[in-house]
Chains A and B, each alone.
Chain A
Amino acid sequence: MEIKLIKRLPVYLVVLIFSVAALLPFYMMIIMGTYYSEELYSGVKLLPGGYFLTNLHTVLKQNFFVFYKNSIIVSVCNTLGGVFISALTGYAFAKYQFKGKKPLFAFIVATLAIPQQLGLIGFVVEMRALGWINTLLPLIFSGMASAFGVFWMTQYISSSVPNEIIESGRIDGCNDFVIFFRLVLPIIRSALITIFLLLFLWSWNSYMTPLVTISNEKYYTIPLSIALISSEYRTDYAARILSLALSTIPIIGMFCIGSKHLIQGLISGSVKG
């Protein structure tokens, strides 16, 4: 047993080193947020300091809650809309025969490869024309029609929703939308969670779209506030770091809970894509 342990020591070390490296930046961020700014220049800190509450007070005095609120409104609306549209469209592609189905689906798959930047300038001009600059609307609607979501839902529904269930609904006289809401959605619940997590992650982390459509601080999202506000408050270094830590916590917490679904989603995207 001991020999086995010694032989395996390098293996444990490698895994440990990379895991520590993965966590170190998070740890540093949290530790640095608990010091008085001036102290941070006087050498490396590895243990927590005593200025956490003071820094927290500084952070909350800024518009931090407003940015949080904006980010949550944008991400929740964008994601719920995206999940619903992906599921409905995926259901149609998976379970109906209709003219033009193949080319339309091929078109959606082809758009997967298009980088978001390609239409960005046109998008900004369009938003100006609509009067949507400095509102949350561009962020809510961009990416709501997710090619990845439709592609993924189509694959999932065709393999995991039995035709018999849809038929039995028809025999009971339900119309097609009732069948979708009452019978299909409950079956694909786990897929809905996966797509929800992925779309939420992309929406929450999105930086480029808010950067080019929002200049009024009232409508900043979390990534935009981290990027633009923090450099203005450079003087209070420690408070800036604490706000960074606070803004990453919700998404990390959410994904610790839902990581199984998220990882499953990423993996099946690769196996089938």
Chain B
Amino acid sequence: MDPLIIIRLSEVIDMKKKYIPYTMIAPYFILYIAFGLFPIIFSLAISFTQWDGIGTATFIGLKNYIRTFTQDKFFYQSLGNTTLLLLVNTPIQISVGLLMATLLKDFFKKTRGAFQLINFLPYITTPVAIGIIFQLMFDWKSGVVNGLLNLLGIDSVYWLGNAWASRGVVVIMEIWKGFGYMMIMFLSGLSTIPDELYESSRIDGAKWRHSFAHITIPLLRPIFTFVIVTSVINGFKLFDEPQLLFSSTSQPIGGPDRAVMTVVMRFYETAFNGFEFGYGSALAYCLFIIIAIVSFFLFKFINRESDMA
């Protein structure tokens, strides 16, 4: 055969080869563009309009964004609530998770798997169901919590009818849901710390709490970074559980005085109860911008801390 033809043939095969990885990644990108990216860009366009979702949309420029930051007191209230819940939940979840992880690792060698599973169950339970279970448990008349309080001689508390008590219930609910996840993360971090470190410090006469403070905590830093950043991001997205907590009481969205109205609840109410598609899209973008800014500074702060250490 003419050598030129052979070269041509191998070129054709090469051309065919080059297409292969693209055909492999094509389904992902087609689906992502169709149902992920397109809606996101479309929402951005909608956020510059005034639109009820049915009639014609009117272009109003940045007015929705200006309204979010200057006129919407519910936006600020929901942002305040979300931040408050986040600031209370995250440290408690992390402390309980870390405590359980260290105790399980050091004292429950044989039964660890079972305890791990039990404490992890709340994390995988349908959030909607969690909201309703807690609604039942904290019910004023028939709830188990007031029942136990009465047994101890304490008067019933109107948990879901009072602003601060409702916040308390949401905090308890979120801690209940999340500490098992933290525990799993810390257990994985603990398993990477070599036993020799603990042994040598024991030989030096260190107590359990000393090695906890000087070995465990510093070496778990990467896990701390990960769980703090993810809890902040997920904390800003809180919706299902608090929404369902008040589903059958005659409360406004977000409970008494909107005390536990989160940013996503405000977004949902605006877009799908009030049918303000334009303003709702702007709220979603504001939430995204806030998450982006907060995680940026969080990363910077944590990195600076670790440089100093």
Q: What is the interface of chain A, defined by CB distance below 8 A to chain B?
A: 8, 11-12, 14-15, 18-19, 21-23, 25-26, 28-29, 32, 40-41, 43-44, 85-86, 88-89, 91-93, 96, 98, 101, 104, 111, 113-126, 141-142, 144-145, 147, 150, 176, 180, 201, 204-205, 207-208, 211-212, 222-223, 226-227, 230-231, 234, 237, 241, 244, 247-248, 251-252, 255-256, 259, 262-263, 266-267, 270-271, 273
Minimal Cβ-Cβ distance residue in B for A93: B25
Q: List, in ascending order, chain B residues with CB within 8 A of A12's CB.
A: 107
Can you report 9 A-B residue pairs in the complex whose CB atoms are below 8 A from each other? A8-B107, A14-B100, A22-B122, A25-B130, A25-B176, A88-B28, A121-B271, A207-B126, A259-B117
- Whether the pair A19, B132 counts as a contact (CB closer than 8 A) is no
Contact among B96, B107, B108, B237 with A115 in the assembled complex (CB-CB below 8 Å): B237
- Whether the pair A15, B284 counts as a contact (CB closer than 8 A) is no
Determine whether B302 belongs to the interface, using a CB cutoff of 8 Å to chain A.
no
Q: List, in ascending order, chain B residues with CB within 8 A of A32's CB.
A: 136
Determine whether B91 belongs to the interface, using a CB cutoff of 8 Å to chain A.
no
Contact among A114, A118, A145 with B28 in the assembled complex (CB-CB below 8 Å): A145
Q: What is the interface of chain B, defined by CB distance below 8 A to chain A?
A: 18, 20-22, 24-25, 27-29, 31-32, 34-43, 45-46, 53, 96, 99-100, 103-104, 107-108, 115-122, 124-130, 132-134, 136-137, 141-142, 144, 147-148, 151, 176, 179-181, 184-185, 188, 222-223, 226-227, 230, 233, 236-237, 239-240, 244, 247-248, 264, 267-268, 271-272, 277, 280-281, 284-285, 287-288, 291-292, 295
The smallest C-beta distance from B76 to any residue of chain A, in angstroms, reads 18
A115-B287, A120-B39, A204-B126 are known contacts. Are A104 and B267 too (CB-CB below 8 A)?
no
Contact among A11, A126, A251 with B126 in the assembled complex (CB-CB below 8 Å): A251
Q: What are the nearest 9 A-B pairs in CB distance?
A: A44-B147, A122-B42, A119-B39, A122-B39, A119-B40, A92-B24, A122-B43, A96-B21, A145-B31
Q: Interface residues of A: mostly helix, strand, loop or mixed? A: helix
Contact among B142, B176, B180, B237 with A41 in the assembled complex (CB-CB below 8 Å): B142
- Whether the pair B46, A125 counts as a contact (CB closer than 8 A) is yes
The smallest C-beta distance from B23 to any residue of chain A, in angstroms, reads 9
The smallest C-beta distance from B213 to any residue of chain A, in angstroms, reads 17
- Whether the pair B287, A117 counts as a contact (CB closer than 8 A) is yes
Contact among A11, A92, A118, A231 with B284 in the assembled complex (CB-CB below 8 Å): A118
Minimal Cβ-Cβ distance residue in A for B32: A145
- Whether the pair B103, A14 counts as a contact (CB closer than 8 A) is yes
Highest count of chain B CB atoms <10 Å: which of A26, A93, A115, A222: A115
- Whether the pair A19, B119 counts as a contact (CB closer than 8 A) is yes
A23-B121, A251-B124, A270-B185 are known contacts. Are A125 and B42 too (CB-CB below 8 A)?
yes
The smallest C-beta distance from B240 to any residue of chain A, in angstroms, reads 5
Highest count of chain A CB atoms <10 Å: which of B31, B124, B277: B124
Please report the C-alpha to C-alpha distance between residue A106 and residue B7 in the assembled complex, in whole angstroms.
Answer: 36
- Whether the pair A104, B115 counts as a contact (CB closer than 8 A) is no
- Whether the pair A114, B40 counts as a contact (CB closer than 8 A) is yes
Q: List, in ascending order, chain B residues with CB within 8 A of A111's CB.
A: 32, 36
Please report the C-alpha to C-alpha distance between residue A226 and residue B130 in the assembled complex, in whole angstroms.
Answer: 11
Q: List, in ascending order, chain A residues with CB within 8 A of B115's CB.
A: 15, 19
Minimal Cβ-Cβ distance residue in B for A138: B35
Please report the C-alpha to C-alpha distance between residue A205 and residue B222 in the assembled complex, in whole angstroms.
Answer: 29
Q: List, in ascending order, chain B residues with CB within 8 A of A92's CB.
A: 20-21, 24-25
Contact among A126, A231, A270 with B247 in the assembled complex (CB-CB below 8 Å): A231
- Whether the pair B121, A26 counts as a contact (CB closer than 8 A) is yes
- Whether the pair A205, B126 counts as a contact (CB closer than 8 A) is yes
The smallest C-beta distance from A194 to any residue of chain B, in angstroms, reads 14
Q: List, in ascending order, chain B residues with CB within 8 A of A248's CB.
A: 125-126, 129
